[in-house]
Amino acid sequence: MIDLQKLTHIHIKLRVGEADLLGLMMSRSGTLNRLGDGEDEQPPFFMGRTEEPLFEEFVAQLSPELLELTGRYTFPDQQGVPCELVLALAGEGIDTGFA
């Protein structure tokens, strides 16, 4: 089981077909990096820092049921354009594919 108190970085990537439409990296320190908006195939890149507790708010949404899917989960009966959503977590003693 992942100790969420030791979590320091989160990386989220959305790929639809052959296009990377969204990349988001956030850290407990407040650093945010975002590539894309989830729609544009030629996404802009943004870097910043926030005092808002966005990291903690996101971590609060990580349920034990979701964390049990760490690794890979494939939906049955897929239809439409292939999509890949990556949620990678990193921290002290935590590595779920963070690269």
Give domain limits for the chain.
4-95
Summarised one tens digit per residue, pLDDT across range 1-54 is: 788 899 999 999 999 998 889 999 999 999 999 998 887 767 788 999 999 999
Cα–chain center distance at 4: 14
φ/ψ (deg, to 5) at 8? -120, -25
Q: Which of 13, 17, 38 is nearest to 80 (CA)?
A: 17
| Separation CA 67–CA 32 (nearest Å) | 22
pTM: 0.81
Q: Is 7 exposed, middle or buried (0-12, 13-18, 19+ CB in 10 A)?
A: buried
Summarised one tens digit per residue, pLDDT across range 46-92 is: 999 999 999 999 999 998 888 877 777 788 888 999 998 888 888 98
φ/ψ (deg, to 5) at 52? -65, 145
